[in-house]
A and B are shown apart, each in its own frame.
Chain A
Amino acid sequence: MEWLTVWLAQILSLCRKEFLAVIKDPANRTILFVPVLMQSVLFGYGATFDLTNVPYVVVDESRSATSTALLARIDGTGVFRRAATLETPAQIAAMIDAGKATVAITIPSDFDQRLTRGQASPVEVVLDGRNSSTAGAAAGQIGTIVADFNRSRGVHPAVTVERRAWYNPNLLTRWSLLPTLIASLSFMQTLLIAALSVAREREQGTFDQLMVTPLRPMQIMVGKLLPAMTIGLIQSTLVLLVIRFWFQIPMQGSLVLLYCCLIGFTTAAVGLGLSISALSLNMQQAMLYTFIVIMPMMLLSGMVTPVRNMPRVLQLATMVNPLRFGIDMARRIYLEGAGLSDIAFDFVPLAAITAVSLPLAAWLFRNRLS
């Protein structure tokens, strides 16, 4: 019993020291919390695939009441903004090349006649494919407008599609993206804090001082793990508060489950960071390694592009990426209200990453030669 008390007291004094070291540095205090808040607000407003203000140009060769009515519908959605009304199709290329328009619509001169005759009339839509996701979304939007237009003219297609987007009724990017930030924004900083923690001590010579104390590598590891985890969880909480109360995105799942998942995820992230740190001889190296791993991890996390769309090899590679599972858990619990049974699988790779990285870090503390 007494042995355990001493063991825990030693870890406690390490944790205390780590917290003090972080909190005493005024630069640290701001770096830990201000960027997370700023980034989550920036992502909420800035990063969006939602269509608004898409500039388009039109060549109306029909110049009829019908064509004007169709264009009025396009203008009326609020999605498209007419950048210019052109005289000839030849002018389109210049407008698209210059980026002044993303969409060009050409209404042929016989548009009205064909429709009155009861025939179908094509409307040509030219899209700027340089931004494929905007172009695709714009085309879909125009399709919807045309279908509505047809229905208003009493034309009833044989099959109609009624869309209902579950979990995100208006298909807002903000809804699908922001919950992933609970995992991804804190991931970056937790990884960096953990990666710098041992490297800083090595650089300043304090690590030797630590190694000659009776502290075991295991204790040092736990003493480094807990403070970094706490900081990560506080950051996640900040993001959670911003998206719930500032952006008012309703949370479906259980808060307790979300935190259980975050704890699992953050432990794996810190484990990874500590391994990087134990491997590095100084802070510069640790920083470099962190940036080398963080970019691919972000790309292969499924935050923006679904993991399912990736080539098979890369899909396999995402299995060692804690961020993938963190994001999956956060998004599903927040938006879907997923229960433990739904996301239980995500814990397996996270546990595996933790089980490898933490002992590796502890081993490297003593065996990495300087």
Chain B
Amino acid sequence: MTDTGFTVVAQGLRKVFVAPDGKPFDAIDDLSFRIRAGTLTALTGPDGAGKTTLMRMMAGLLRPDAGTLQVLGEDVSLRPQAVQNRISYMPQRFGLYEDLSVQENLDLYADLHGVPMEQRRERFSRMLEMTDMARFTARPAGKLSGGMKQKLGLACTLVRSPDLLLLDEPSVGVDPLSRRDLWTILEQLIEGENLSVIVSTAYMDEAARCTDVFVVNRGRLLAEGSPEDLSHRAKGLTYEAAPPPGMPARVLQARLIDAPDRIVDAVPRGGRVWFIRQPDCDEAALRELLPDTPFEPRTEELEDAFMALLREHDGDSGKTAEHAPAATVPQSKGDGHPVIVVRDLVRRFGDFTAVASTSFSVAQGEIFGLLGPNGAGKTTTFRMLCGLLPATSGHLEVAGLNLRKARAEARGRIGYVSQKFALYGNLTVRENLEFFAGAYGLPRKRAHARIEAVLKQFDLEPGAVSGILPVGYKQRLAMAAGLLHEPDILFLDEPTSGIDPMARRAFWRTITALAQDGVTIIVTTHFMEEAEYCDRIAIQDDGRMLALGTPQQVREQAGGDRAMDMNTAFIANVEQSRAALARKGEAA
């Protein structure tokens, strides 16, 4: 080894890809770094930062276009096999064989890696114990939950003991509980086997658990250091403000976000607003911005430094769409009568219960969040509400009607933005909007006016081909199409998955503005912290409704106070409910 003490040494690394619009761009742009051996290192950055490209290069699956990359002392572009023999790599979507059982998957990967028979038994039992999957060895991998699949993927990756473990976003789409388990396993491994691990993640709480953190954005390295060093960059810039009584935190947050020259970032948190000021904006200027709102400094966190770094690097590219200024006083939201009523809603697929007896109602002008991990039943509930899926049993009412049976006009009152981009990719932005204006039966004049309005509101280029827009813009277009006909109720299915933190802020800013105009919003998300934007949330797990209420009520149900973050609240709720179920099982 040339550089003992370092697992990965990169020098002037570059990788060029061709964007969907045919233009080449630097996915990795002149990157140089060194990663220390024996540490847990996080590679973090927004989506599209180049994390996966970098991981694939380190695993010898992609050749750099320029620069050198040494992994475990070998030049990986010259001798990829020599490197691959000593590393284990878990890609974002690990290749489990869904029809094979847990045990068969383990055997298969042990065979592929040539793990000797005598080592297997000890290794398997250790892996199964660690992942808590010993009970499920006979179950087909396809029938595991998202979190269990990910744990099995990790176990299969670790059938042999590597010198370096590469994990590419292991916790994407995994519920908070499994996410916590996954990290416990990682920490045990590092301690027990003195393993070097490089993990890419978009979650700051995960990065905060690592020894070293590398922040990348658009192929460039923005910063590196320990979480403490990095957090330090935001020292003295972070504050907390309490909105006046009766004002939702998101309204205050919107007002702060709207002043990017003074404020780097703001998020609602525990009924208050956490924000970061620009370094050149002094407290006097802040007071000017928040005349009637007290604010006080708070301890900085890694996420604050991360947002500050991104904002600095991206300049104004994360510019939010245009909105009316956030109202200081919440406007009247109608009479608060329920526009959505769900009672004992059940949906089964064969013998699998996707949604078990769920009841809730949503008042007009409310932002209602359906939270839960992938596979918890939120999308199924959501599709039933929109009339896309019939319920097995139960009562369902949207604007006084069951959309599945209602006349077509009733559908004209709702807007729908689906989970993945579901507009016509080879049509231009304008053609898509014209089509939906036509489908909603808008008269020519109004259609024209509305199209111009949403193009302006969402800052969209009408001539661009929608299929090759960047993710954030696709999402804006989907919103624009969903709002063309000015619906009373807007359904948003996982609108923020796969878009970067800046775009998410911009998205929620739009939602806040809509809610002010009296639009009722139903939104699903697997980002627990986004619950803070909602008036009320419902947490689902395994098809069951675990908690329902304001974010504060949900925290209290979990036994926490204002400071408890939503992730912790979610985990506590799930654990309480599972324990209750187990007690019931014992009693029975």
| Contact of B425 with A by CB under 8 A | yes
| Contact of A9 with B by CB under 8 A | yes
| Contact of B25 with A by CB under 8 A | no
| Contact of B427 with A by CB under 8 A | yes
Q: Are B425 and A204 touching (Cβ within 8 A)?
A: yes
- Identity of the chain A residue whose Cβ is nearest the Cβ of B427 in the assembled complex: A20
| Contact of B423 with A by CB under 8 A | yes
Q: Are B416 and A212 touching (Cβ within 8 A)?
A: yes
Q: Are A212 and B386 touching (Cβ within 8 A)?
A: yes
| Contact of B452 with A by CB under 8 A | no
Q: A20-B427, A24-B426, A214-B409 are in contact. Are A208 and B388 (CB under 8 A)?
A: yes
| Contact of A283 with B by CB under 8 A | no
Q: Are A206 and B422 touching (Cβ within 8 A)?
A: yes
| Contact of A10 with B by CB under 8 A | yes
In this complex, how many residues of chain A approach chain B with their Cβ under 8 Å: the count is 25
Q: Are A214 and B427 touching (Cβ within 8 A)?
A: no
Cα separation A216 to B412 with both chains bound (whole Å): 11
Nearest Cβ in chain A — how far from B444, in angstroms? Answer: 8
Q: A212-B411, A212-B414, A213-B411 are in contact. Are A13 and B427 (CB under 8 A)?
A: no
Q: Are A213 and B440 touching (Cβ within 8 A)?
A: yes
Q: Are A211 and B422 touching (Cβ within 8 A)?
A: no
Q: Are B438 and A13 touching (Cβ within 8 A)?
A: yes
Nearest Cβ in chain A — how far from B580, in angstroms? Answer: 33
| Contact of B389 with A by CB under 8 A | yes
Q: Are A209 and B416 touching (Cβ within 8 A)?
A: yes
Interface of B is mostly: loop
Q: Are B387 and A212 touching (Cβ within 8 A)?
A: yes
Nearest Cβ in chain B — how far from A10, in angstroms? Answer: 5
- Identity of the chain B residue whose Cβ is nearest the Cβ of A223 in the assembled complex: B439
A13, A205, A214: the one within 8 Å of B412 (CB):
A214
Nearest Cβ in chain B — how far from A182, in angstroms? Answer: 30
Inter-chain contacts of B435 with A (CB < 8 A): 13-14, 16-17
Inter-chain contacts of A126 with B (CB < 8 A): none
| Contact of A25 with B by CB under 8 A | yes
Could you mark each residue 1-27 of chain A with 1 if its beta carbon is under 8 Å from any beta carbon of chain B, else 0?
000001001101110110011001100
Cα separation A14 to B421 with both chains bound (whole Å): 19
Nearest Cβ in chain B — how far from A358, in angstroms? Answer: 18
Inter-chain contacts of A369 with B (CB < 8 A): 389-390
In this complex, how many residues of chain B approach chain A with their Cβ under 8 Å: the count is 35
Q: Are B418 and A215 touching (Cβ within 8 A)?
A: no
Q: Are B431 and A17 touching (Cβ within 8 A)?
A: yes
| Contact of A238 with B by CB under 8 A | no
Inter-chain contacts of B449 with A (CB < 8 A): none
Inter-chain contacts of B410 with A (CB < 8 A): 214
Inter-chain contacts of B425 with A (CB < 8 A): 204
| Contact of A210 with B by CB under 8 A | yes
Inter-chain contacts of B412 with A (CB < 8 A): 213-214
- Identity of the chain A residue whose Cβ is nearest the Cβ of B383 in the assembled complex: A208
Nearest Cβ in chain A — how far from B113, in angstroms? Answer: 33
Q: Are A214 and B441 touching (Cβ within 8 A)?
A: yes
Interface of A is mostly: helix
Cα separation A210 to B438 with both chains bound (whole Å): 12
- Identity of the chain B residue whose Cβ is nearest the Cβ of A207 in the assembled complex: B422
Q: Are A213 and B431 touching (Cβ within 8 A)?
A: no
| Contact of B420 with A by CB under 8 A | yes
Q: Are B422 and A205 touching (Cβ within 8 A)?
A: yes
Nearest Cβ in chain A — how far from B430, in angstroms? Answer: 11
Q: Are A208 and B422 touching (Cβ within 8 A)?
A: yes
Q: Are B422 and A10 touching (Cβ within 8 A)?
A: no
Q: Are B439 and A213 touching (Cβ within 8 A)?
A: yes
| Contact of B424 with A by CB under 8 A | yes
Q: Are A9 and B441 touching (Cβ within 8 A)?
A: yes
Nearest Cβ in chain A — how far from B167, in angstroms? Answer: 29
Could you mark each residue 365-389 of chain B with 1 if its beta carbon is under 8 Å from any beta carbon of chain A, else 0?
0000000000000000001001111
A24, A205, A214: the one within 8 Å of B439 (CB):
A214
Q: Are A13 and B434 touching (Cβ within 8 A)?
A: yes
Nearest Cβ in chain A — how far from B445, in angstroms? Answer: 13
Inter-chain contacts of B439 with A (CB < 8 A): 10, 13-14, 210, 213-215
Inter-chain contacts of B427 with A (CB < 8 A): 17, 20-21, 24
Inter-chain contacts of B422 with A (CB < 8 A): 204-206, 208-209
- Identity of the chain B residue whose Cβ is nearest the Cβ of A17 in the assembled complex: B435
Nearest Cβ in chain B — how far from A21, in angstroms? Answer: 6
Cα separation A369 to B426 with both chains bound (whole Å): 27
Inter-chain contacts of B458 with A (CB < 8 A): none
| Contact of B408 with A by CB under 8 A | yes
Nearest Cβ in chain B — how far from A235, in angstroms? Answer: 21
Cα separation A208 to B420 with both chains bound (whole Å): 11
- Identity of the chain A residue whose Cβ is nearest the Cβ of B493 in the assembled complex: A208
Q: A209-B416, A369-B389 are in contact. Are A21 and B441 (CB under 8 A)?
A: no
Q: Which residues of A in the span 75-111 have a Cβ within 8 Å of any Cβ on B?
A: none
Inter-chain contacts of B420 with A (CB < 8 A): 205
A10, A13, A206: the one within 8 Å of B423 (CB):
A206
- Identity of the chain B residue whose Cβ is nearest the Cβ of A211 in the assembled complex: B388
Nearest Cβ in chain B — how far from A324, in angstroms? Answer: 36
Cα separation A209 to B390 with both chains bound (whole Å): 16
Q: Are B389 and A213 touching (Cβ within 8 A)?
A: no
Cα separation A233 to B420 with both chains bound (whole Å): 35
Nearest Cβ in chain B — how far from A329, in angstroms? Answer: 36
Inter-chain contacts of B411 with A (CB < 8 A): 212-214
| Contact of B436 with A by CB under 8 A | yes
- Identity of the chain B residue whose Cβ is nearest the Cβ of A23 in the assembled complex: B426
Inter-chain contacts of B419 with A (CB < 8 A): 205
Q: Are B388 and A212 touching (Cβ within 8 A)?
A: yes
Q: Are B438 and A12 touching (Cβ within 8 A)?
A: yes
Inter-chain contacts of B434 with A (CB < 8 A): 13, 16
Among B412, B422, B437, chain A packs the most CB atoms within 10 A around the CB of B422
Q: Are B386 and A215 touching (Cβ within 8 A)?
A: no
Nearest Cβ in chain B — how far from A304, in angstroms? Answer: 38
Cα separation A369 to B349 with both chains bound (whole Å): 10
Nearest Cβ in chain B — how far from A338, in angstroms? Answer: 42
Given A6-B441, A21-B427, output 12 extra A-B contacts at Cβ < 8 Å. A9-B441, A10-B439, A20-B426, A24-B426, A205-B418, A205-B422, A208-B416, A209-B418, A212-B411, A212-B416, A214-B411, A369-B389
Can you list 6 pairs linking A and B with CB atoms under 8 Å apart?
A20-B427, A205-B421, A208-B418, A210-B439, A211-B387, A213-B440
Residues of chain A touching chain B, judged by Cβ–Cβ distance below 8 Å, are 6, 9-10, 12-14, 16-17, 20-21, 24-25, 204-206, 208-216, 369
Residues of chain B touching chain A, judged by Cβ–Cβ distance below 8 Å, are 383, 386-390, 403, 408-412, 414, 416, 418-427, 431, 434-441, 481, 491
